[in-house]
Amino acid sequence: MKRAKITIVGAGNVGATTAHWCAAAELGDIVLLDIPQTEDMPKGKALDLMQSSPVFGFDANIVGTTSYEASAGSDVVVITAGLPRKPGMSRDDLLGTNAKIMTAVCTEVKKTSPNAIVIVVSNPLDAMVQRALQVTGFPPNRVLGQAGVLDTARYRTFLAMELGVSVEDVSALLMGGHGDTMVPMPSCTSVGGIPVTQLIAPARLEEIVDRTRKGGAEIVGLLKTGSAYYAPAAATAQMVEAIVKDKKRLIPCAAYCDKEYGVGGFYVGVPVILGTGGVEKIVELKLTAEEQKAFQLSVDSVKELVKVMAGLV
């Protein structure tokens, strides 16, 4: 059976850690790619990772490169390239610079891996994945963004910490844009099958949701010199696994919504079925009036961001 070919563009902390998770899970052969100015850095990280395979017991060919030629014919391309956040920066502060980086990357991906499924991780996420769609011209089901899996993982973590239970027993869903306008879905959140609203008071639950919204900024503030990478990389690897193994996972992703939820042609976090075809279905939920209002606010924020981006690229 032919192994999947996975290219990860950006060999920084998020990209290299994604490569680590994917290799350890034997999801396929991996190309770790970075810009020419990094010279041999991606080669060094790839070789180091390869040398961990006898210890951890996985088989995967891992190549580091600064050339897109080595990535040709990839089944999945993960884009983590871009400037990381620094303390005091919002995701939106990265818009202009990272939009230009996304344009350059996607121009190359379109030429070298025209049949790939593209997963965007770069911030500001919802605008960057919109840019990836614009530049590649790929079908929308083959271009998606990693945000919902990460946001939900943070939410589940905080809920488990609050209740003193296993994270495995917490099932949750967040929708909307990646950032301060993300929309919690209490009706889709449970612990061991028990609705979370029966376990946590509304005011305390809102505090946990707010911490989730600011989860990335909290880590940026603690690290001082970087941003989160373990959880974003793990979330990305889960999406790669769903695609290369055709697992049909029902998970939240930044997906292109047109008629769905009345979004009108923008990327926003929604529950999807993720498999070998990329986004195989967008699952439309019946939202409460309060949830719909919050979701629309989040969509409007994404639309404004995309509008600003259009004037910068």
Active site residues: 178
Cβ 4 vs Cβ 28: under 8 Å? yes
- C-alpha dihedral over 22, 24, 28, 33, to 10 degrees? 50
Cβ 42 vs Cβ 32: under 8 Å? yes
- Ranges of beta strands (E only) in the chain are 5-9, 29-33, 62-65, 76-79, 117-120, 143-145, 170-171, 174-175, 183-184, 190-191, 194-195, 249-257, 266-275, 278-282
Q: How far is CA 171 from CA 158, 167, 207, in A?
A: 12, 8, 18
Q: Could you tell me how far CA 264 lies from the centroid of its own chain?
A: 22
